[in-house]
Every structure is written in C-alpha cells, then in structure tokens.
Amino acid sequence: MPATPKAPQQRGFIIPIGGAESRGRKTGILSRFAKLCGGKDARIMVIPTASLRNETGPEYEELFRSMGARSMCVPIEKRSDCFDKETIRILEAATGIFITGGNQLRLSTILGGTPVARRIRKLNALGIHVAGTSAGAAIVSEHMIAGGRSGPSPRESGVELAPGLGLTNRVIVDQHFNQRQRMGRLLAALSFNPFACGLGIDENTAGFIGPDGDMEVVGKGTVTVVDPADLRHSSMSYVRRAEAVTLTGLRLHVLAAGAHFNIETREARAS
C-alpha cells in the first residue's frame, strides 16, 4: 500500500514514462522532471536495476547533469545492495528518484520488500518525486504488469502480474503501449483488479501525477485511460485457457499532451 503523507505534507509526483523518451537537454519529459526536482538544486538518484546494460545508469546520470541538476547513479544489482547503508543515505538526500527501463521482474525480485523499496514509498509520501521509464514506469503501481501477449483483445492467460512498488494503488501502468499493441494485456490485467484504472502510455509520453491525483499528459503520444469503475460483466473467471474475454461497461479516454485525468475522481478533461 502507498505510504500515507503526514498533513500538511504533500505527496511527491509520480511520473510513469512510456519509454523511448526524448533526451533533449532543454525540452521534453526528462527536463521537466529535473526542473520539478529543483533544477540546479536538484539531486536525482538514478536506479538502473532493470537494465542489463552497464551504460544505462551513467547515461541518465550524465543527461541530468547536462540539464544542470546534480545526479548520481547507484547500481543496485542484487538484493543485498538494498541493505547497504550508503545506498540508503544517498536515497535520503535525493529530491528526485529516477528508475530506468529494462526488465520489470529484475526490479520486483531485487527491490521488492527491501529497505530501498520501503524508503522510496516513504520518501514519495514526504514530497520526493519518483519517475520511471518503461519497466520503471510499470513498477510504480501496486500491481505491476510483468509480461503478456501483444494484441488488441484481452485473453485468459494474456497477462502476467507481479507486485510493484506500491506508490499508488489507483492505476495499473503499461508502457510502449500503442507501439507494441498492448491493449489486450492491459484489459486482461484490469479484469483481475477492476478497482484500478489502466494507463496505457505511449513511447516519448508521460503522465505527471500530482499530489491530488491529477495527471497531466506530457509528450508526443497519448495516454490511453481505461476506467473499469462501471464494469458490468467479465468472463475472465470461466473462459478456457487463451480464449478471448468479454468485458462490458468499460470507459475509455485517449489523452494527448495537455489533457488531464484525475485518478481519484476518475474525471478526464481536454487541454
């Protein structure tokens, strides 16, 4: 469950990014994140756990530095790293935390249940901003999509779920959404947990979710919001393996840059 802010403390932003984000120094999602974290006073901790590329973390560290922010890449490659006192110290000093892309299951199996994961939740509740791209976007929610079938329609066994960081329990995030045809697996995930909204985030697109739950879409693509609050019927519980699933009563919003959706009130508004 998300940590609870102590009034009057405001929760930090939660920023899932759909992957393949522009890395321009002056414009784009990452520069907005750096500015939100304090600009020249920002201290951004980069967590590259999901990636198997040794270059991933240092690349983001240098990119944030080129934007004027202070940044440090902290490799967390095994669970024992999550108990390291120096890692926790760096985390405590951060004004922003950035989780890179890669493999979602590396994130959940290495970070899950550790002091680092618990501290990220607590810091976000205390006002520290957390952004993640691709796999790093998927893990911000309580229920994380770890894998599944591509395609437009939901199917039984069409999605694999794992525990996420739990910064929010209001949404389930899928990334590279339209580029990799992931509507089917997002719908399958929602059929298991209709309490949450589904956010399908395109590449080079992000949802900046503020303390009040209001999400602004930033970037070149769209965020597809699937709201199952009025779901009337789901055949997921009785269809055979790999069969198509019937879902009725879903609400759908497709939001481009500047549009908003409030994950608490479930209200969408155009830019």
What residues are labeled active site? 134, 176, 203
Strands of 129-133's sheet, edge to edge? 70-73, 43-47, 96-99, 129-133, 14-17, 205-209, 214-219, 260-262, 267-269
- State both tokens at 104: 């979602």
Cis peptide before 58 (omega within 30 of 0): no
Q: Cα separation of 1 and 121, whole Å?
A: 9
β-bridge mates for residue 206, sequence order: 17, 218
Strands of 171-175's sheet, edge to edge? 171-175, 197-201, 223-227, 251-255
Closest to 226 (Cα-Cα) out of 260, 264, 266: 266
Torsion of CA 54, 106, 33, 21, to 10 degrees: 70
Place of tokens 């690349």: 59
Question: 258: how many CB neighbours lie within 10 A of its CB?
Answer: 11
Question: 13: how many CB neighbours lie within 10 A of its CB?
Answer: 22
Q: Cα separation of 46 and 214, whole Å?
A: 25
